Structure 1
Amino acid sequence: MPEEKQQTPPGSETEMNVKPDHGEQSYVGHGRLQGKATLITGADSGIGRAVALAFAREGADVLISYLNEHEDARETERLVREAGRKAVLVAGDLADPAHCRSLVDQAVQAFGKLDVVVNNAAFQMSHESIEDIPDEEWNRTFAVNISAMFHICKAAVKHMKPGGSIINTSSVNSDKPSPQLLAYATTKGAIANFSAGLAQSLAEKGIRVNSVAPGPIWTPLIPATLPPEKVATFGQETPMKRPGQPAELAPVYVLLASDEASYISGARYAVTGGTPIL
């Protein structure tokens, strides 16, 4: 893999030497999400962009939530609109509970309803020792990865009807935690647990909840949060000996968002390049 320059978190796709594949040239929609209103956090790049693209090509409108990566977010917006669907861009910090609630309100205002919520945005940093993790960084990791998911789900369920779907992005770290990603891995285990519990709680409302557990996926988060030596060998530890591309995640999110997954809830889907999770 060509050398990647280190980026400032959360990273930008426009600065990457090796561009991720979001399915721009490969994903073909078949109307599986026709008319659905969706909200995706972290949709400016990486997995979030690939999911937004796939959702739009399947017939869904998309609210694109992101922090401040405006150039990346406008490219996602272009892809959604190119597919003939509505795109709404909303920048802001998910660590703010009021912003989380506002995302739901803006999606409902823009689309008149809310069918699918994808909690995908995440914060991570790499450290060799627990002693190296600043308290404020630990707290921010939980605010963005866990508390934001809680606030968004809490605000969303009152708008969602039977057949609605919540999809939370966990990680292979939920089962095989990396010691260098202690805070991030801990939140990913909590996401899997939260999703399984919420699925049972919302079953009587007809709302399904699942999580997706990616392995090493090539996104801007990697050169922005991992040391160069880790970036250079990223993904080689998997049985497939390579990182996954965001486009390889999108079909799982489409399935879980679609009515075809009407009896799938409380599940955690591994997309890990062959690394098993329990």
Structure 2
Amino acid sequence: MTEKIDDLMPPVEYITEDYKGANKLKDKRVLITGGDSGIGRAVALHVAREGARVAILYHSDEDSARKTREGIEAEGAEALVLQGDTADSTSCTDTVNAVVAKWGGIDVLVNNAGLQKPYASQEDISDDDWRMHFAVNMDGIFYTTRAALNHMGEGASIINTTSINAFVGNADLVPYTATKGAIVGYTRALALQLIDRGIRVNEVAPGPVATEIQLVFKDYDEDMLKNMASPMGRMGQPYELGPAYVFLACRDSSFVTGQTLHVNGGMIANG
């Protein structure tokens, strides 16, 4: 599934024909926040190909959510598309309840919704902008996870999306980087808390990936968007992230918890 989202970016690929599903998530109930676009859509399509039932939460882009639904259903999987706001506790709880009402529980939760906005200096960051980053990127993970845990049993998996920026920093993305660092700490602590319940908690730390979230640089510094690359000389593609989430969601990673899976094209990660 390929899509052109901007002339300054390469065509975005969410899944390729080369990826062969093996029923690793057959009949599993998967909820993905921010599942309508970017990495979230790639994850949705990959878990669908592995036989899962897939629910996605999107914020406002109905067209993008429709395309993801169509992609999930094209894989022969059942789709549930929900609109909501991860910054709102009630919205997160309602989302979880809708999934449970339809399928009876949740086996895999992927906390992927997020936003980023660049700032040249600390003085440019307003109180509202600072809180907005934490509300969407961190509070939403807590709200959704807290609600979902009431409906997750032994063998379930929680996967959070952090970022390479949490480990190496980013001078232009201070609020975003701070939230991604918080996600790292939350993931490690929650993994320990849930070990006795048999629920694993891990995270994926992408490097620069060709997704809609990068378009914030278009008005900030167009050259940054044009030149965004890993040591491999290019941005990653969403389809290159999808299998990492599948691994952490399925039994292949049954002895993995509290860990960060770095998918960054060779960028150094200090931890």
- TM-score normalized by the length of structure 1: 0.92
Distance 2:21 2:188 in 1: 29
Q: Look up the match of 2:88.
A: 96
Q: 1:172 aligns with which of 164, 174, 182?
A: 164
Does 1:109 find its partner at 2:91?
no
Question: 2:84, 2:95 within 8 Å by CA — same for their partners in 1?
Answer: no
Question: 1:14, 1:72 within 8 Å by CA — same for their partners in 2?
Answer: no
CA deviations over 1:93-136 (Å, ceiling 9, x no partner) = 21111001111111111212100000001111001101001211
Does 1:148 find its partner at 2:140?
yes
Distance 2:216 2:117 in 1: 9
Q: 1:228 aligns with which of 219, 222, 228?
A: 222
Does 1:42 find its partner at 2:31?
no
The letter for the 2-side match of 1:80 is I
Does 1:118 find its partner at 2:118?
no
Distance 2:111 2:11 in 1: 23
Q: 1:209 aligns with which of 173, 178, 201?
A: 201
Question: 1:40, 1:65 within 8 Å by CA — same for their partners in 2?
Answer: yes
Where does structure 2 lack aligned partners over 5 or more consecutive residues? none
Deviant stretches of 4+, over 3 Å: none
The letter for the 1-side match of 2:74 is E
What root-mean-square deviation, in Å, do the aligned CA atoms of Structure 1 and Structure 2 show?
1.2
The letter for the 1-side match of 2:46 is A
Distance 1:20 1:26 in 2: 16
Does 1:242 find its partner at 2:220?
no
SS at match of 1:16: coil
The change in CA–CA distance for 1:111 and 1:24 in structure 2 (over 3 A counts) is farther
Question: 1:124, 1:225 within 8 Å by CA — same for their partners in 2?
Answer: no
Question: 2:100, 2:106 within 8 Å by CA — same for their partners in 1?
Answer: yes
Displacement after TM superposition at 1:225 (Å): 4.2
SS at match of 1:157: helix
Does 1:59 find its partner at 2:51?
yes
Q: Identity over aligned residues, as a percent?
A: 41
Does 1:268 find its partner at 2:253?
no
Displacement after TM superposition at 1:224 (Å): 3.0
Q: 1:181 aligns with which of 156, 173, 180?
A: 173
Distance 2:212 2:11 in 1: 9
The change in CA–CA distance for 1:269 and 1:198 in structure 2 (over 3 A counts) is same
Show the 5 A alignment for 1:77-92.
77-92=69-84
Distance 1:230 1:142 in 2: 24
Question: 2:217, 2:225 within 8 Å by CA — same for their partners in 1?
Answer: no
